[in-house]
Structures are given as C-alpha cells and as structure tokens.
Chain A
Amino acid sequence: MALLKMKFNQQRRVRLAQGLWLLSWLALTCGAFVFCLGVYLKTELLRRDEVMDNGEIHVVPNILIMVGLASIGTNWIASRVCQDSLDTSRFPRWKVLLLAWFVVAALVCCLLLTVVVLSYALQGRLEESLKVGLRNGIRFYKDTDVPGRCFQKETIDHLQMEFRCCGNNNFKDWFEVQWVSNRYLDFTSQEVKDRIRSNVDNRYLLDGVPFSCCNPASPRPCLQYHLTDSRAHYNYEYQSEELNLYSRGCRQALTDYYMGLMNSTGPGVLSVILIQMSVLLSMRYLQTAVEGAMALEDPEGESEGYLLEKGVKETYQDVRAKVLNVVKFGQVDPAEEASGAAEGEKTTDTSTEKAATPPPAS
C-alpha cells in the first residue's frame, strides 16, 4: 500500500508543477540566504581569529556555505524539472538524475539540521577556544616589537572598546600579566626594580589596566593604575567602584556575541529546512504523478502520486534487503570459499588420473 497517496488529474498536475516551480525559486533564494549567512558568520569569526585558539567553530559557517551552494544547485535543477514535467518528450531524461537529486536534497536538509544542532552544541568549544586565545592575546599585548605580534595590542584594545569588556574573565586578569613592554621600562628606577624583584618570573606586574578598559559611562575620570589601592585616589573605594572600568570579561562578551549570532541564524535555518522539505515532498509527488500518467500512456488522464510505493515498514525492509544483498555480493562466504577450493582440487586430480590411464586399444 503506497504512503500518502493522492489522485492527480491534468489540471492538478499543472497546478502542482507551477506551485513547485515557485517554491523551488523561493528555496533557491533561501539557499542564497544560507550561503550569505555562512559567509557573514565566517567573516565575523575570521575578524577575531587572533583571539581564538582553534578553528573548530568554523565548521558551522563552512557547512552553511556548502549547503547554501548545494541548495542553489538542487533548487535550480528542481525548477528545470518542473518546467519539463508537463512535456512527455522532455521529462524522461530527468528520471535517472532525480534519484541522485532526492539523495542530495535529503542530505541538504540533514546538513541544515546538523548546523542548527552544532550551533548550539559548540558553545562550550567556542568558549574554550576564546579562553585560550584571549589568554594568549593578553600575554602578547606588550610585544609590539615582535614580528607577528606587533598588532596584538591594537587588536585587544579595539576588542575591549568595541565589546565593552576588560580582560579574559574580568579586569583583574591584567594584574597577572606584564602588559608594559620592557622597552618602556626604566630599569634604573627603584620602583621598577622592586616590582620585578617581588615577582618569581621577574615580570613587571602592576594593579593597572590598559586605557581600553575604561568605561565612558563613569562620572569620574578613568583610574587605570593603583586600582587596588583605595588610598592612592581621593574619594575612591576599590571594592564598591562599579563604573570606572568594564566589569565584564571579553570571553563572556565574545561568547554572547557569537552565540547570539548563531542562535539568531537557528530559526532562519529551520525555516529554510521547512521550505527545502516542502520542495522535496512536492517533487516526489510530481515525479510519481507524471510517471503514473506516462505509464497509462495518457498524459491528460488521472494518475496517482505518493511519497513511498509501499508502507514505511515495507520500504525499510526492501532497502535493508537490497543493502544486505550488495554487502553479500561484495563479500564471499568463507565456507563457500573452502568448498570451492576442494572442488577445484578434485577436478585437478581427476584430470591427472585420466592422463595417466593409457588409452584403450582399438
């Protein structure tokens, strides 16, 4: 018994073909949208590449780009099939290609679903990548003379200003690294000597932050140095000061930003999946209806359209049997192989014996 069977007359087939043609162009536009979404997301990730430890998260935009292109291709083919579906001379040439088309279209839907799942699932990886990347970025902040790292300071400063954040987890992260280059330290100065000596790694650590941590919303001019010393500044309490610096860490800010981007792409991609599924199902109905009409040798007559020729269970069993058959064909049974070898030996012996026996006297 066929699954979700529907009767189609000529008019309904025409209507279906026209509707599917429109739908396939809509889906093609959606494919272009998915592609653009992927490119945008990839660009945004590449912009902050210096503060990311690994590129695992790039799998999401990569799939989006790939799926977008595949979607454009499949939907363009779908629109061509729709145009040819009402012409009995032109439709048969698509018959072989349609099977491959269904596989690709189904794969596109699966990949889109994977993207939605991945965009939520990879949050932990993204956070970890940012954590390590930002830690390194902060560590190399001072290396403005080192080739390959000379723009790290500028990158971090712009990042902190743009995302209104400070440090990795919070502004105290700056207290744990030397962020002033030795080039700008006077090693003859007692204060510098003392700071370096009081540290195991001989680093110049200070309770200060770069200017990019300063919060413009603060009513008082920004305090960047001696942040933990309440006596160093008039009318200042280190524990209760809220607005002087950005309190949020950059890892949190960037994670929120990227997850916000991905979460907002989620519903968009889901709606694209629905459209793509509609194209897939409509195409199946059109294919079966047109093939049915052609089988009846009456293009104007009534035909049946369906999703599956048999029920879900039967189709599954058929597919399973076919797969097993293919596997069997590729793999020879060991017992069979042994008996085959024995038979081969027997044949050889017999022929030898025959050769040894003298021919009968005539």
Chain B
Amino acid sequence: MALMVVKFDLKKRVKLAQTVWFMYWFAVLAGILVLSLGLFFKIELRKRSELMDNNESHFLPNVLIIMGLVACAINAFGGKVCYDSLDPTKFVKWKPMLKTFLVLCVVFNALLFATALLCFVMRIPLQFTLAEGLKNGMKYYKDTDTPGRCYMKRTLDLMQMEFRCCGNDNYRDWFEIQWVSNRYLDFSAKEVKDRIGSNVDGQYLMDGVPFSCCNPTSPRPCIQQQMTNNSAHYSYDHHTEELNVWKRGCSDALLSYYGGIMNTIGALVLLVTMLEVAVTVGLQYVHSSLSTLANPEDMESESEGYLLEKTVKETFTDIMTKMKAMGKGAKVEEGAAEPVATVS
C-alpha cells in the first residue's frame, strides 16, 4: 500500500507541475540566500581573524557557501524537470535519472538540516576560539614594533570601542599582563624598577587599562590608571564604581555578536530546509503521478501520486535488504578473488 496517495487528472497534474516549478525557482533564490549568508559570516569572521585562535571557525561559513551553491544547482535542475514534465516527449529523457535525483535531494535535505543544527552547535567551539584568541591578542597588545603584530593594539582598541567591552572576561584582565611597550618605559625611573622587580616574570604590571575601555556614559572623566587605589582619586570607590570602564568582557561580547548571527543563520537555514523538503515532496508527486498513468499513451488519463510506493516500514525493510545484498555481493566478490587450489 503506497503512502499518502493522491488522485490526479491532467488539470491537477499541470497545476502541481506549475506550482512545484515556481517553488523550485523560489528555492534557487533561497540557495542564493544561504550562499550570501555564508559569505557574510565568512567576511565577519575574517574581520576579527586576528582575535581568533584557529581556522576551525571558518568551517561553518564554508559549509554554508557549499550548501548554497549545491542548492542553486539542484533547484535549477529540479525546476527544469518540472518545466519539462508538462511535455511527455521532453520528460522521457529525465525519467531514468529522477529516482537518483530524488535520493540526492533527500540526502541534501538531511545535510541542510545538519547545517542548520551546526549553526546552533558551533557556538561552543567558537567560545574557546575567541577566549584563546583574545588572550593572545591582549598579550601582543604592546608589540607595536613587532612585524605581524604591529596592528594588534589598534585592532583591540577599535574592538573594545565598537563592542563596548574591556579585557577578555572583564577589565581586570589588563592588570595581569604588561600592555605598555618597553620602548615607552623609563627603566631609570624608580617606579618602573619597583614594578618590574615586584614581578616574577619581570613584567611591568599595573592596575590600569587602555583608553578604549573607557565608558562615554560615565559622568566623570575616565579613570584609567591606579584603578584599585581609592585614595589616588577624589570621591572614588573602585568597588562601587559602575560606569567608569566597560564591565563586560570582549569574549562574551563577541560571542553574543557571532552567536546572534549564527542563530539567525540557523533559523533561516531551517526555513530553507522546509522549502527544500516541500519541493522534494512536490517533485516526488509529479514523478509518481506521471509514472502511474492509467494509459501512458493518453496524457489526459487519471493517475495516482504518492510519497512512497510502500509503507514506511516496508520501504525501510526493502532498503535494509538491498544493503545486505550489496554487502553479500561484495563478500562473494572477495571470495572469488582468492586463487582456487587445483589438483594436478
């Protein structure tokens, strides 16, 4: 017994083919959308590539770009098939490959769904990538003379200003690293000597942050140096001070930003998947309704369209049997390949 059987006359078949054709071209646009989203996300990641630890994060945009291109190709082909299904002479040439194409469509839909899930899941590795990348970025903030790192200060400053964040987890991260280049430190000064001497690694650490951590909404001029020393500033308590510098860490800010993009892309890819499933179902109905014509010579005769030739259980059993047979076939071939011992 076939699954979801629908009766079709010529008029209904034509209407179905036209609708599916229209949906296929709409799906081509959806493919372009997926491709564009992939490109957009790749560009956004590239913009902050200096703050990322590795290239793993580019896996998702690359997948989106590939899926977008494949979607465009598959849907354009599907559209052509639907267009030709109205003409029996033209449809004949597509008939042999339609089953393979439909299987390919199902596989593609599964992959598209996996891509959508990936958009939601990839947030976790991105978190580690950002945390590690930002830690390194902050470490190299001072190296404005080192080739390859000379723009790290500028990158971090612009990022902190744009994302309204400070440090990796919070502004205190700046207290744990030397972010002032030795080039601008007077090593003959006692204060500098004392700071370096009081540190195991010989680093110049201080309770200060770069200017880009300053919050413009603060009513008082920004306090950047001696932030933990209340007596260094009038009417100031660093425990209760809320607005002076950004409280949020950049790891969290960037993760929220990229996470937001990924969630949006994920939702859109899910919608595209639904559309793809719809067109695949539509094409299956077109294919089955044309295959089951009561009189193949007479295009006006009635026919039946269905999703599966048998029930889900039977179809699954058939697939398993075929796979077992293929497995057996492979084993037999292996056996045949062995040399036969002959008695001379």
Interface residues of A (CB under 8 A from B): 144-145, 150, 153-154, 157-158, 161, 179-181, 183-186, 189, 210-212, 214, 216-217, 219-222, 224, 233-235
Contact = CB atoms under 8 A, between A and B. Distances in A.
Contact of A235 (B150, B157, B184, B235): B184
Contact of B220 (A144, A157, A235): A144
B184 A161 contact: no
Contact of B184 (A158, A220, A224): A220
A158 B217 CA distance: 9
Contact of B235 (A145, A158, A179, A184): A184
B189 interface: yes
Contacts of B186: 234-235
Contacts of B214: 211-212
Contact of B211 (A144, A211, A219): A211
Nearest to B216: A157
A90 to B, nearest CB: 39
11 contacts: A145-B219, A154-B216, A158-B216, A161-B161, A183-B235, A185-B234, A210-B222, A211-B214, A219-B153, A222-B211, A235-B183
Contacts, number: 71
A150 B216 contact: no
Given A189-B234, A211-B221, A212-B216, 13 more contacts: A145-B219, A153-B216, A154-B217, A158-B216, A180-B220, A181-B219, A183-B220, A185-B234, A211-B222, A219-B153, A220-B144, A221-B179, A234-B184
A41 B181 CA distance: 44
A173 to B, nearest CB: 16
Given A184-B220, A185-B234, A219 B181 contact: yes
Interface string B17-57: 00000000000000000000000000000000000000000
B331 to A, nearest CB: 67
A234 B192 CA distance: 11
B184 A179 contact: no
A184 B234 contact: yes
B154 interface: yes
- Sorted nearest first, the 3 A-B pairs with minimum C-beta distance are A219-B144, A144-B219, A216-B157
A77 to B, nearest CB: 37
A71 B161 CA distance: 43
Contacts of B220: 144, 180-181, 183-184
A220 B150 CA distance: 11
Among A153, A217, A221, the one with the most B-chain Cβ atoms within 10 Å of its Cβ is A221
Among A150, A211, A222, the one with the most B-chain Cβ atoms within 10 Å of its Cβ is A211
Given A179-B221, A183-B235, A211-B211, A219 B150 contact: yes
Among B185, B186, B219, the one with the most A-chain Cβ atoms within 10 Å of its Cβ is B219
Contacts of B144: 219-220
A216 B183 contact: no
Contact of B153 (A145, A211, A216): A216
A265 to B, nearest CB: 28
A158 B210 CA distance: 17
Contact of A221 (B154, B184, B189, B221): B184
B158 A211 contact: no
B268 to A, nearest CB: 28
A220 B153 CA distance: 9
B211 A214 contact: yes
A145 B157 CA distance: 29
Contacts of B16: none
Contacts of A145: 219
Given A153-B216, A189-B234, A234 B185 contact: yes
A185 B221 CA distance: 11
A214 B213 CA distance: 12
B212 interface: yes
A315 B176 CA distance: 86
A184 B241 CA distance: 13
A186 B220 CA distance: 14
Contact of A222 (B145, B150, B161, B210): B210
Given A157-B216, A180-B221, A186-B234, A221 B180 contact: yes
